[in-house]
Amino acid sequence: MAGMKPRLVFTGVLLGVAVLGACSSPPEAATPQVASVPTSSATPPNSPGQPAQSGQQTPERLRFRIDMTADEEKALYDPYRTCMSEHGIAIRDPKAPQPPKDKLDAAAKACDPLLPLPAWENDINNPEAFDFNRRVVTCLRAKGVKYVEVDKNEESGMVGPSYGGPQNDQQSITKGMELTPKCEQEVAAGGYK
């Protein structure tokens, strides 16, 4: 090796490293380690995309949106109405006799899971729903609704405006119901901070 020039030795070493590198398998890419902080879920239990408590997947429940048309809202109830009808319960038929309580309870148990969830902005499980609706109430008051406040209804699972006040002011009820969709849209667009 005394007669070899240093440049040739260096080239030979580089060539050897290149050949060994080509023959060996590439190292597996390491999964990037990302720090995460556990947070509480803002989505309600068994909402779309979450498994049921028993570990079985439940069908995704439909959910209202604040920008739906009346026809879209009506269509959300179709699965529920179909289910109730299949269980012998007439929906929206004032001439139909009142079914026995046990039959009604059985139908409700089977069909209530098909009732649509409230719009996420009005869902009591949404930690931001109260603030959203506080802003909607501010908008309604700015538009002349005199008696309106935010109401949390545990039974329905909804947060939203309550119209009329203790005196059940008809003008506030009518005007509030008429203007709520517009105010919801304005608040969703970032208004009434």
Three-state SS letters, 74-108: HHHCHHHHHHHHHCCCCCCCCCCCCCCHHHHHHHH
161 has a pLDDT exceeding 80: yes
Mean pLDDT of all residues belonging to the chain: 78
Query: For the chain, where are the E strands, in sequence order?
Result: 148-153, 158-163
If asked whether residues 151 and 92 sit together in one domain, one would say: no
Return d(Cα 58, Cα 29) in angstroms, integer: 36
Measured CA to CA, the distance from residue 148 to residue 183 in angstroms comes to: 13
Confidence of residue 122 (pLDDT cuts 50, 70, 90): very high
The answer as to whether 100 is a domain residue is yes
* 98 band by pLDDT with thresholds 50, 70 and 90: confident
Last residue of a domain, one of 114, 134, 167: 114
63-94 pLDDT, tens digit per residue, is 999 999 999 999 999 999 999 999 999 887 78
Containing domain of residue 108, as a range?
Answer: 78-114
145 and 180 inside one domain: yes
Say if residue 133 is in the same domain as residue 158. yes
Count up the domains in the chain and report the number. 2
Question: What are the backbone dihedrals phi and psi of residue 152, each rounded to the nearest 5 degrees, phi first?
Answer: -105, 120
* Same domain? 167 vs 139: yes
The reported pLDDT for the residue numbered 108 is 95
Same domain, 124 and 103: no
